């Protein structure tokens, strides 16, 4: 691959990329132990916030890393014949208590692709689904034009 040009994406370009995708990779850590997992998300370009449903089972690795407000990095990327683009969001993932849900939350989560419950062997009723929101402290996109 010949790299032609690397550019910083504008806010509008970043919003557009996040709007046309439904999944990304969420990275968490405990001490020096990393954990990354592909997840589905919803994105509100108006507020530049993400909403996520995180599914876990008792004793799962994911649950060990998910505290109420972990610092995270979330990555969404795409590759076409002409360019490779990526968006990185850094910030604190805030758990949304179900007792605080509003109609606006329901609308926002309606934009997020549903979790792939089929991945788990357990019945849905045995899975824990927690709702999280990410209001990134930093949100940046880059594009690399390729030959």
Give me the residues that bind another protein (CB under 8 A), please: 53, 98-107, 109-110, 112-115, 117, 124-125, 127, 129, 131
> Are 24 and 54 in contact, with CB atoms under 8 Å apart?
no
Find the shortest distance in angstroms from Cβ 75 to another protein: 22
Find the shortest distance in angstroms from Cβ 145 to another protein: 36
State the DSSP string of 94-141.
EE--GGG--HHHHHHHTTSPPP-GGG-SS-GGGSEEEEEEE--SEEEE
Alpha-carbon gap, residue 71 to 120, rounded angstroms: 26
Residue 59 φ/ψ region, left for φ over 0, alpha for ψ in the -120 to 50 degree band, beta for the rest: left
Beta bridge mates, 72: 91
> Are 50 and 14 in contact, with CB atoms under 8 Å apart?
no
Nearer to another protein, 84 or 120 (CB): 120
Find the shortest distance in angstroms from Cβ 102 to another protein: 6
Nearer to another protein, 30 or 113 (CB): 113
Find the shortest distance in angstroms from Cβ 142 to another protein: 30
Nearer to another protein, 70 or 115 (CB): 115
Nearer to another protein, 80 or 102 (CB): 102
């Amino acid at each position: 691959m010949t790299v032609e040009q690397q550019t910083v994406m504008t806010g509008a370009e970043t919003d557009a990329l996040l709007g046309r995708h439904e999944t990304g990779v969420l990275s968490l850590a405990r001490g020096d132990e990393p954990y990354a997992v592909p997840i589905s998300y919803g994105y509100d370009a108006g507020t530049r916030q993400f909403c996520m449903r995180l599914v876990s089972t008792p004793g799962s690795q994911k649950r060990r890393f998910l505290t109420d407000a972990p610092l995270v990095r979330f990555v969404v990327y795409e590759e076409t014949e002409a360019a490779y683009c990526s968006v990185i969001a850094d910030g604190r993932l805030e758990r949304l208590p179900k007792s605080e849900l509003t109609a606006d939350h329901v609308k926002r989560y309606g934009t997020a692709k549903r979790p792939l419950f089929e991945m788990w062997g357990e019945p849905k009723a045995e899975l824990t689904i927690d709702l999280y929101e990410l209001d990134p402290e930093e949100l940046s996109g880059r594009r690399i034009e390729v030959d």
